[in-house]
Amino acid sequence: MSSTEKPAFDAELVIDALSPALGLDIDPGLKAGVAVYLRVAERMARIVEAAPVPEDEAELAPVFRPGRSGEDA
């Protein structure tokens, strides 16, 4: 690996490291299956990271409207 290359994504390491903070106790029999989907998410993250989104311009998609839910504007 060169110094500029991104290290390989280690899904199982992420799961082990973050589970206590998330309060999740992943059954050892499930970890490999969870890691499969986390690796898919990481591939998706690489695609969105590469999207030519105008930096410092694009707004996030969700819109937040203050006011109590259930009351008409």
Partner 1 sequence: MIDPFAPAHVTAGHVRSGELAVIEVVEASLAHIEALNPALAAFTDVTAERARAAAREIDRKRKAGESLGPLAGVPFAAKNLFDIAGLPTRAGSKINRENAPASRDAALIERLTAAGGVLVGGLNMGEYAYDFTGENAHDGNCRNPHDLSRMSGGSSSGSGAATAAGMAPVSLGSDTNGSIRVPSSFCGLFGLKPTYGRLPRTRTFPFCDSLDHLGPLARNVRDLALAYDALQGHDAHDPVCAPRAVALTAPEIARGVEGLRIAIAGGYFDTGGMPEASAAVASAARALGARDIVDLHGALEARAAAFLITNAESSALHLDRLRTRAMDFDPDTRDRFLAGAFVPAVWQVRAQRVRRWFHDEMLKVFETFDVIIAPATPCSAPKTGERVLHFRGSDLPLRANIGVFTQPISCIGLPVVAAPTFGGELPIGVQLIAAPWREDLCLRAAHALEESGVSRVRAPTGLRS
Which residues make up the interface to partner 1 (CB under 8 A)? 11, 14-15, 18, 22-27, 30, 33-38, 40-41, 43-45, 47-54, 58-62, 65, 69-73
Minimum CB distance to partner 1 smaller for 7 or for 52: 52
* Residues 73 and 67: beta-carbon distance below 8 Å: yes
Find where tokens 């993250």 sit: 45
Task: Say how far apart CA 19 and CA 13 lie, in whole Å.
Answer: 10
Closer to partner 1 by Cβ: residue 2 or 61: 61
From the list 58, 9, 61, the residue with the least C-alpha distance to 35 is 9
State the minimum distance, in angstroms, from the CB of residue 4 to partner 1.
Answer: 20
Nearer to partner 1, 2 or 62 (CB): 62
Helix (H, G, I), strand (E, B) or coil at 44: helix
